[in-house]
Amino acid sequence: MDTERPIQNEDLTGRARIRDAALEVFAERGAKGATVQLIAAAAGVSTGLIRHHFGSKEGLRRACDEHAIGVLLDQARRAMEEDTAASGFVDSMYRASSAGLRYLARALVEGSPAATDLFDAGAVLAERFLTEHDPVRYPPGAATTRDTATAMGAVQLSTLVLHTHLDRRMGVDTLDVAHTPRVVAAMAGVHTVMAEFLAGERGRPIADSLTPRPPSAPPEEER
């Protein structure tokens, strides 16, 4: 009688259960505070089973990176390769699972390599958006374009990193997908009111002083 398939299915279920428990423990305790013992207790398994599936805590963390961040990173890379907009990537990020978002928030703070790659990929997509939207102000490859795109990425991800403060002030779990529209609407409100202020009488002098000048044309002899 073939008994291999049920064992494989059980292994897959156990592996996923450990990974999901690890996402929550890593998010709460951080990479240093999340011990194998805590993860095993949260998953209801032995530490030996964790070693069987992942080899070590670092191997388990890599699996969490791949599950919570890898899909988003692959999507961002495809967007860059296919020259598509960043909107789908950003939307997918904010609609990920609550456990995945909490893990990503902690990984961004702690400097996970996968989270660093994700931030950089998002910044590249932001550079493309800026250049397509206003190529005179944000020409490809310019330092101003890179700086602005980097700041855009930081602003977008700040709601994840600072989610406990948003939760306290807004009175909801802002990493729950049910409240994503509320967070997005608040962010849109910030951009709208700031754009209106900078376009108005009081804000225009500030905007004028901060607006980068377009690159000057090269001298005749260099053309």
- Asked if 132 and 53 count as a contact pair (C-beta separation under 8 A), the reply is no
pLDDT at residue 206 in the model: 83
| CB within 8 Å of 115: residues ≥ 6 apart | 65, 69, 104, 107, 108
Render the burial of 20-43: b for 16+ CB within 10 Å, e for the rest: bbbbbbbbeeeeeebebebbbebb
* Domain of residue 166, residue span: 69-213
Residue 40 lies in a domain: no
What total of structural domains would you count in the chain?
Answer: 1
Domain annotation covers residue 175 = yes
In a domain, 156, yes or no: yes
Phi and psi at residue 55, to the nearest 5°: 85, -45
pLDDT at 27: 92
In a domain, 29, yes or no: no
Does residue 142 form part of some domain?
yes
181 located within any domain: yes
Half-sphere exposure in the Cβ direction for 115 (13 Å, CA) = 20
**Contact at 8 Å (CB) between 75 and 88?**
yes
Q: Is residue 222 part of a domain?
A: no
Residue 22 lies in a domain: no
pLDDT tens series, the chain, 223 aa? 333 333 344 555 789 999 999 999 999 999 999 999 999 999 999 999 999 999 999 999 999 999 888 878 877 777 666 665 555 556 666 666 778 889 999 999 998 888 898 899 889 888 988 998 899 999 999 999 999 999 988 988 898 899 999 999 999 999 888 888 898 889 889 989 988 988 888 888 887 887 655 554 444 554 4
Round to whole Å and give the CA distance between 94 and 156.
Answer: 10
